[in-house]
Chain A
Amino acid sequence: MAVAGMPEHFEGLPENVVVSRLDELGSWCRKNSLWPMPFATACCGIELMATGASRHDLARFGAEVFRFSPRQCDLMIVAGRVVMKMLPVLQRIWQQMPEPKWCISMGACASTGGVFDTYSVVQGIDRFVPVDMYVPGCPPRPEQLIQAIIDLQDKIQAEGTLNGREFLSAQQQMTKRALVELPILGQGFSQP
């Protein structure tokens, strides 16, 4: 069957053969089999559990296998506030996850610190670990988290590559503006 734009040597293939790019095939496999790492520290974790339970049923999107070992996961869902004593733990868990991996910052606290503008609460985990999707809400409803996972699936399908080239692009490497402007005082708090 002749399709516009198809290379000539593909002509004559049977109709039950699909032609794709390897990157797209790999991304299609990855996006429909996300294994979340539930980093649930607060009330957002309750909504995260509800998302995985029967009513909202995250299994419809292939992301129901919550694993408590980061080595078996490729999607970290940070649900809840992260304090400065917890952040090195968070970073270590992120580093233990195998590539390719993604991160969802769920709720106001994980994304910005929320109402906890105090000395001990990290004002947004995206200052210290990469974040792909932000979910607003306090806490977000399961529908919002599902929407974020669907959006993440679209992102993986759109930019994903087999060898993870998209993670090395300049945009991903940029330091966040807020982090540059904030004063950093004292030493000795970073042991991820």
Chain B
Amino acid sequence: MTDQQTTDEQATGTAEQKVFEQIATQFPGLAESEFRGQTRVVVSRDELLTLMQALRDEYSFDMLVDVTCVDYLNYRGAEDRFHVVYQLAGTDSGLRLTVCLPLNEPDLNAPSMTALWSGANWMEREVWDMFGIRFEGHPDLRRILLPDAFEAHPLRKDYPLQGRGERHNFEVLRRGEG
């Protein structure tokens, strides 16, 4: 990595800081942290939709790169069970921002981003499939990877790695029955 690239990264880092300072005037409750030049914002569920709308329309974050989730069960120092993580990018500005939404059982509902970015559709289906987060307002919240009959959400930390017997639960075909 050259010195020029390093200074560029620091420059974008500061640009995202400036964006955050502007947002923080509109949303005073936001918590912010930074790790290796990447800015992370933690937002409450009530403010999420308006924040994302503002980020898209006023701060040129026009691309929702990813919607994913982290299960912080038994994680050292964690306060919340789940964080739904939204990765935003501005294709013109080159800025990147991580937005986190803390959720706790039993109320695992999050507003759907499909109205703002239609690309959120399948990503939210995957989060529902793997973590069991319900997205309110999603047009078609079905499982996307696992079979429809699957009952658990296997990427949760309290789900056993080897499953609960789903992989053994099939009809056995024998010779001479075909």
Contacts and interface: CB of A to CB of B under 8 A. Distances in A.
Nearest to A132: B175
Majority-rule SS of A interface residues: loop
A123 B176 CA distance: 23
Given A94-B173, A130-B174, A167-B175, A119 B149 contact: no
Contacts of A185: 164-166, 169
A117 B162 contact: yes
Contacts of B173: 91, 94-95, 128-130, 192
Interface residues of A, number: 38
Interface string B136-178: 0000000001110111001000011111111111111111101
A103 to B, nearest CB: 10
A167 to B, nearest CB: 4
Majority-rule SS of B interface residues: loop
A119 B178 contact: no
Contacts of B174: 130, 172-173
A189 B149 contact: yes
A175 B175 CA distance: 11
Contacts of B169: 184-187, 189-190
Interface of B: 145-147, 149-151, 154, 159-176, 178
Would you list the 7 A-B pairs with minimal beta carbon distance, nearest first?
Answer: A119-B163, A185-B165, A167-B175, A190-B171, A188-B149, A189-B169, A172-B175
